Structure 1
Amino acid sequence: MEREYLVKSVKVAKAMAIAGVYTALTVVLGYWSFGPLQFRVADAMLVLPYLTSMGFESVAGLTIGGFLGNIPSPFGLWDWLFGPATNLGASLVFYTVKRVAGRGAVPFILGGLLSAAWIAFAVGYLELVAIFGLPTWTFLSVLASELVILEVFGGLLVKFAQRIGL
């Protein structure tokens, strides 16, 4: 019973730490994190569920971080809704790809492509184009930036985490 409580506490602590780091990166790099030409560095963390040492707690932390990080967004309530939903979907893609297709370069690239497409559709098209009336190229801009962030920065994050034993 005591061990089970400890395991649950560690998972909650992991989720909150992930949420805190995601939120801090999004807020500190705020100018780059919002809008049609966004380059949200914190989204590199969306690959965390791909790591062996990370379970569903990383999905929860990234979803919570997606909400908290969007509180100062100039898009207000819409970003408070789309942010966590987008992070939930993108992190679940990596979580599922790892469990279905295994680990390796091809599953990781597939996870990045699917996650970037989801983010570009949800944020770039539904929120920024359909709701706020930004130009349609906004979708492509978000897609391109998310591909770089997830595949390059996310890939580096996975390599670093594996190197230090996570």
Structure 2
Amino acid sequence: MAVYTVHQPPLAKGENTPDPARFTFVRDGFYAWGFVLSFFWMLRHRLWLVAVLFVALSVLLEIGLRYAGVSSGWRGLMFLALAFLIGLEGATLRRWTLKRRGYTNVGVVVADNQDDAERRFFVNWQAGKRPNAAPPPAQAASIVRMAGRTEFPRSGQAEVIGSFPEPERRV
């Protein structure tokens, strides 16, 4: 199962609701094509600024490593590491670009593939449900602020799960 983040585009002129065809689903995980063909993968996903920064970083890295007298084997290893980083952070780069374009993250969907993720998201979206929205805290209204400290309501259990058997008490 893959995890997809769903990004809603900004409203176009004359639109009251966003067009479902313009929503973007970004899969979390390693992007193999981002690793193998980094620059072309960026162009394919319209990551123009990321592609320019990648080329600039690659040129500066090459010049710096040549100036430092690093052998071609180590330079190749550095570029391989950079490409691996692009493969690992491909989803983050796509989300950053979408945010810069005005898209908003509206949910997270877990599905086997992108078609199933779209189906699950839009079924919930049409029903008026917010996908994976956290329910409001049950006792949020009963949080008390006293003398600069925030006290949260106690659950009635005296034991604390974790390394310490008793909660710390302050006087």
Tell me the TM-score normalized by structure 2: 0.28
Structure with the larger helix share:
1
Structure with the larger strand share:
2
Tell me the TM-score normalized by structure 1: 0.29
